[in-house]
């Protein structure tokens, strides 16, 4: 499972690959401990995600399954004109084994998160100097 961690204070985000079985059963809006992802001293809030086929999770749909909803806005549908509605297939707000990506934002940062962001910044700078 991929976990995308966003830092609202800097506007940056980082993606980590993990076998986070502890996330299964959590819902959008839940606050989790960073120890689950190997980031001690950090609190993360689940903001969304998508399944292996690309269908987005929707906070107002309970459960883990997929369902067709009539949407006017929000996760899963962006209308071109105001007032247009469309029936779209979306996933529920609970994390299950079918979820491929989970999006989180930092509520309280620990030292491990700062190191994660710094390490990836250094890697990008090294790639630019080599190429």
Structure-token pair, residue 36: 């689950």
Question: Which domain covers residue 53, as residue numbers?
Answer: 2-130
Mean pLDDT of 45-64: 94
Q: From 66, 71, 64, select the one nearest 93 (Cα to Cα).
A: 64
pLDDT tens per residue across span 94-131: 999 999 999 999 998 888 777 887 776 676 677 777 76
pLDDT tens per residue across span 111-121: 877 788 777 66
pLDDT tens per residue across span 7-42: 888 888 989 898 878 899 999 999 999 888 888 889
Q: How many domains does the chain have?
A: 1
Burial readout 54-67 (b: 16 or more C-beta within 10 A, e: otherwise)? ebbbbeebeebeee
pLDDT of residue 131: 60
Model's pTM, two decimal places?
A: 0.85
Q: How confident is the model at residue 5 (pLDDT cuts 50, 70, 90)?
A: very high
CB–CB of 25/95 below 8 Å?
yes
H, E, C per residue of 16-32 = EECCCHHHCCCECCCEE
pLDDT of residue 51: 93
């Amino acid at each position: 499972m991929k976990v995308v961690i966003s830092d609202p204070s800097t506007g940056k985000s980082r993606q980590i690959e993990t076998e986070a079985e502890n996330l299964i059963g959590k819902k959008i809006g839940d606050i989790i401990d960073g120890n689950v992802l190997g980031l001690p001293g950090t609190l993360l809030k689940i903001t969304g995600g998508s399944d292996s086929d690309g269908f987005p999770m929707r906070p107002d749909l309970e459960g883990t399954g997929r369902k067709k909803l009539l949407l006017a806005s929000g996760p899963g549908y962006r209308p071109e004109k105001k007032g247009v509605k469309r029936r779209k297939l979306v996933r529920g707000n609970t994390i299950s084994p079918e979820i491929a990506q989970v999006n989180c934002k930092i509520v309280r940062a620990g030292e491990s998160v700062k190191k994660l962001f710094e390490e990836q910044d250094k890697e990008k700078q090294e790639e630019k100097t080599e190429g």
